[in-house]
Amino acid sequence: MTLSTQACTELMIRPYTVEDTVAGRLLVGLRRSKARDGVDADALYDDLNTVLDEQHRPTSAEISRLADRFRQVTLVLIELVPLTVTPYPVDAMQLLIELRANQPCPQRSHRHILRFALAIVDVLNLMGDDAP
C-alpha cells in the first residue's frame, strides 16, 4: 500500500496518534518519500547496469564517475538502512562503507567498481520495498 502525498500531509498535521496502524502507515510513507528524495533511482539502476553488464567494460573515466556517484548513494543508504532494515545488516553496511573509503590504483579500479556495485545491490535487496 502506498500513501498519497495528500494522505501523508493529513496524517502529519495531526498533533499525535496512539494508533499503531496509523503511525505505521505514516512511517512507511515517510521512509519511501525519503528514499525517493535521496536517490535518483533511474540513474542508480542505470549505473549499476553499466557496471554489471558483461558485454561492456567501463573506461577509467567512467569508473571514476561511477565511483563518485556510488559514494554519494552510499551516504544516502547509510541514513536509510537503519530506518528500513531490521535487524541492521552490519556486514553488508561495513563492506559498503569500506568500499566507499577505498581509492584503488587504476589496475584494480574495475574489480573495485564491480565489488562496489554488488555491495549496493546487496543492500538494496535487503531494503526490499523501501529501496529507492
Residue 44 structural domain: 39-130
Could you tell me the pTM of the whole model?
A: 0.73
Q: Retrieve residue 49's grid coordinates.
A: 547496469
**Shared-domain flag, residues 68 and 122:** yes
**Shared-domain flag, residues 118 and 61:** yes
**Shared-domain flag, residues 17 and 82:** no
**Shared-domain flag, residues 5 and 61:** no
**Shared-domain flag, residues 115 and 54:** yes
pLDDT (tens digit per residue) in 10-35: 766 666 656 777 767 766 666 666 65
pLDDT (tens digit per residue) in 49-100: 999 998 989 999 999 999 999 999 999 999 888 888 889 999 999 999 999 9
**Shared-domain flag, residues 19 and 3:** yes
